[in-house]
Amino acid sequence: MPEAIEVRKVPLHSVSDASELAKLIDDGVIEAGRVVAVIGKTEGNGGVNDYTRIIADRAFREVLVAKGADPAKVKEVPIVWSGGTDGVISPHATIFATVPADRAEQSDEPRLTVGFAMSEVLLPEDIGRTAMVTKVADAVKVAMERAGITDTADVHYVQTKTPLLTIDTIRDAKSRGHDVFTEDTLTSMDVSNGGTALGIAVALGEIKMPRDEDVLRDRSLFSSVASCSSGVELDRAQVVVVGNTRGIGGRYRIGHSVMRDALDADGIWEAIKDAGLDLPDRPHSTDLQGRLVNVFLKCETSQDGAVRGRRNAMLDDSDVHWHRQIKAAVGGVTASVTGDPAVFVSVSAAHQGPDGGGPVAAIVDLGSGDPTGYRGPQPA
């Protein structure tokens, strides 16, 4: 039986800062040895050479070890960093930790649960192909089991980190007589994310097994709960499944929805309501009252170069890549809903939600007493 989960969002005061994690441990909110996952945003360029992810990763692991966690186990904790805080998005991390049964708030209602797994090694020639889809799907099923989830409808968010292609890994594939999906290393981010999302969709029964030629081409194939990130830090799929289960207790619950396009604020509100918050018909950020812990979104520029029938120039812009433009735009829409710029908005959403939109997951605090979510300065 999995244990109840404590989840908190903390700011990053610099690229190498993990002081707010240390404070949570010192204040007794969480125990270093019970941290099971971290998902965050760093302020790098979000590209292949975004080393802020490695710096932040090291800072958080060093704090966990310094605060008493087993170094060997800390190496296995999934820490997923999404680079790029374009626009108003603020660097932050969401920390998940288990809670001893005698400290968990009791409830018979569905409450937050987390499961983790690593896939088999993903070879460079696997990325964006059915070999990747199969390996990711297998890992998702293991993570579900570890989370105590038996019904795929109870899975609301699957965060992954997978390798992308680099000059070295492309060279390695060729030396063994294989080709790769693309030799454009930045494009390989979209390829890796898209292939991973299809693996999640297969595991959860959202789609049947696709063909190699469907990857990045058939955008009608997608997962509504996948949030896929890629980088140079690992050679396997790191899979974190977040959902709800009964019998473990805790304060928190997760829900999900999708944004139909880059302006679909209603999709974000639907995810928050799906998590269990009772909100008015026309909600405002002030209605959240500290009950929202965080939202997690993926976004993508629509392949037709338009939003709601209006043309934009993102895909034609040779000065600023569309990755950065759509991330900033959706980050602004999201922060206007939450009233908090520290939102997890990540780009490259191929096969993650509908074309031009993306999946949304929301974690809320339904516990007794004072809520644990962010309450910023209130508008006059």
pLDDT category of residue 233 using cuts at 50, 70 and 90: confident
Tokens of 205: 């029964």
Please report the sign of the dihedral spanned by the C-alpha atoms of residue 336, residue 338, residue 339, residue 340. Answer: negative
Specify the DSSP element, H or E, that contains 81.
Answer: strand 79-83
pLDDT given at position 232: 84
pLDDT given at position 1: 79
Tokens of 106: 């009791």
Q: Which of 41, 135, 141, 161 is catalytic?
A: 161
Q: Which of 192, 224, 229, 257 is catalytic?
A: 229
Instruction: For 264, list phi and psi in degrees, rounded to 5.
Output: -80, 75
Checking if the pLDDT of 346 tops 70, the result is: yes
Does 75 participate in catalysis according to the annotation?
no
Report pTM.
Answer: 0.95
Taking the CA atoms of residue 30, residue 31, residue 37 and residue 38 in that order, the dihedral angle to the nearest 10 degrees is 60
When comparing pLDDT for 105 and 1, which is higher?
Answer: 105
pLDDT given at position 113: 98
pLDDT category of residue 379 using cuts at 50, 70 and 90: low
DSSP 132: H
Q: Which among 253, 334, 254, 336 is positioned nearest to 298, based on CA atoms?
A: 334
pLDDT category of residue 11 using cuts at 50, 70 and 90: very high
Residue 318 CB coordination number (10 Å): 5
Can you tell me which residue has the tokens 């999946």?
359
Mean pLDDT of the residues in the chain:
96
Does 368 participate in catalysis according to the annotation?
no
Say how many residues make up the chain: 380
Q: Which among 119, 80, 133, 163 is positioned nearest to 346, based on CA atoms?
A: 80
State mean pLDDT over 221-233.
93
Strands 358-365 and 252-259: antiparallel
CA atoms within 13 A on the CB side of 106: 1
